[in-house]
Amino acid sequence: MRFRTTYSISIALLLLAAGCSKQEAVREQGNFPADHIIRVSTEVAPATKGSYTTDNITEFDLIVTDHTKAAYSFNNTKFSKSSGEWVSEKTLLWGGAKDTVTVYAVAPCFKDRDLWDTQDFDRLPFYDTMCEIEAEQSEESKSSDYLCWVGSYQSAKTVDKCLTDGKLKIEFTHMLSLVRITFRLGTEFNNGGIPQSNIISDVVISGTSRSFWITTMMYDGKLSAYVPVQVIASDVKPYNTEWHAAAAETGNCTSVYECILVPQTMAEGDLKISFKAGGKAYEWVAPELTFSPNTTHTLTLKVGKDAVIAGGFTATEWVNEDSAILETE
């Protein structure tokens, strides 16, 4: 009986030691998942109408280049949200905690699944197909809002340093430009009574390029929208987000329109904004303007009965619709 008891105790101690060793091995992985599975979390900030947010993004493409083990490099792999968690279309594995990697994420997903070449990273990934924003935009559609994130680039990090709580934290930024036009109506539009509904209509922005490439060839490896040299000018119709009736006949009614444009520099006279105010047609011709990525550009147009003039053009980080609008005279 004593032999059996001693034997049982020895087995128990061995099992306990094995369990402790296994737990210690998991702990030694640190921030790296023991099963090597790539898991992600996402964040999109800040939120605006007509664009993606942390809550409404539902899919994106992930591109991983493993500089240590090429077999663990992955082309565009689609991630979709299911029950609040991100799930990849196929199981992806990290090669090892100390592998050096470069990681990109892009939203929305691309129809062509083989656009990105991760096997020849020395020449830098480059999308060789055109992307395009919508000609007629709306709050409901998010397809003109392209998001991007670069986890590491020339100073490639080891996998364990890319992870937070075992997950790859993807912090998306907006690749394109948010343009907000505030029409400020003169008091003459209050004659006969202050308009209670929006009298600005048929707003069209002309002269910009709606097409672009996504590339890492510029801006030190950050994903960017590249406008082709031969720009084909096109029209974009923004959508109305706000109407504010004047508080008194001596005040000004305001109407706000928004859209997303491709970052680019417009020469003087190239960009035009046409619209109607109270049924009368107007056109404003812009001076040289530059639209930048992940930026909100606010243009104020003062509309009189016979003319329209710019009241200010400002650029701030991509902000939500409740942010203050600055003006310059």
Question: Which has more pLDDT, 282 or 20?
Answer: 282
Is position 21 within any domain? no
Is position 24 within any domain? no
Chain mean position to CA 74: 22
Alpha-carbon distance 45 to 170, whole Å?
A: 11
Closest among 125, 134, 157 to 61, alpha carbons compared: 125
pTM for the model stands at: 0.80
229, 156: one domain: no
Residues 6+ apart with CB under 8 A from 76: 61, 62, 63, 109, 110, 113, 114, 115, 116
* Mean pLDDT score of the chain: 81
Is position 197 within any domain? yes
User: In the structure, what pLDDT confidence band is assigned to residue 151 with cuts at 50, 70 and 90?
Assistant: confident
pLDDT at 14: 41
Alpha-carbon distance 133 to 209, whole Å?
A: 9
Residue 82: give the domain boundaries.
40-174
Residues 6+ apart with CB under 8 A from 154: 220, 221
224, 297: one domain: yes
Share of the chain above pLDDT 90, in %: 50
Residues 6+ apart with CB under 8 A from 109: 59, 60, 61, 76, 78
Assign residue 164 the CATH number of its domain: 2.60.40
Reduced to 3 states, what is the DSSP secondary structure of residue 98? Answer: coil
Q: Residue 154 to residues 11, 68, 158, 221, 266: CA-CA distances in angstroms?
A: 52, 14, 12, 7, 31
Alpha-carbon distance 225 to 263, whole Å?
A: 7
pLDDT at 312: 85
User: In the structure, what pLDDT confidence band is assigned to residue 20 with cuts at 50, 70 and 90?
Assistant: very low
Alpha-carbon distance 61 to 258, whole Å?
A: 27
User: Which range, 31-35, 40-44, 226-230, 299-303, has the best average confidence (pLDDT)?
Assistant: 299-303
Alpha-carbon distance 231 to 105, whole Å?
A: 27
Question: Which has more pLDDT, 112 or 204?
Answer: 204
Alpha-carbon distance 132 to 108, whole Å?
A: 12
Assign residue 280 the CATH number of its domain: 2.60.40.2630
Is position 280 within any domain? yes
User: Which of 174, 197, 232 marks a domain boundary?
Assistant: 174
User: In the structure, what pLDDT confidence band is assigned to residue 169 with cuts at 50, 70 and 90?
Assistant: very high
238, 199: one domain: yes
Mean pLDDT is lowest, of 119-133, 140-154, 172-186, for 119-133
The 10s digit of each residue's pLDDT in 33-50 is 999 999 999 998 665 666
Alpha-carbon distance 200 to 257, whole Å?
A: 9
Total number of domains constituting the chain: 2
User: In the structure, what pLDDT confidence band is assigned to residue 24 with cuts at 50, 70 and 90?
Assistant: very low
181, 313: one domain: yes
Closest among 310, 327, 326, 185 to 252, alpha carbons compared: 185
Alpha-carbon distance 171 to 154, whole Å?
A: 19
Alpha-carbon distance 263 to 174, whole Å?
A: 11
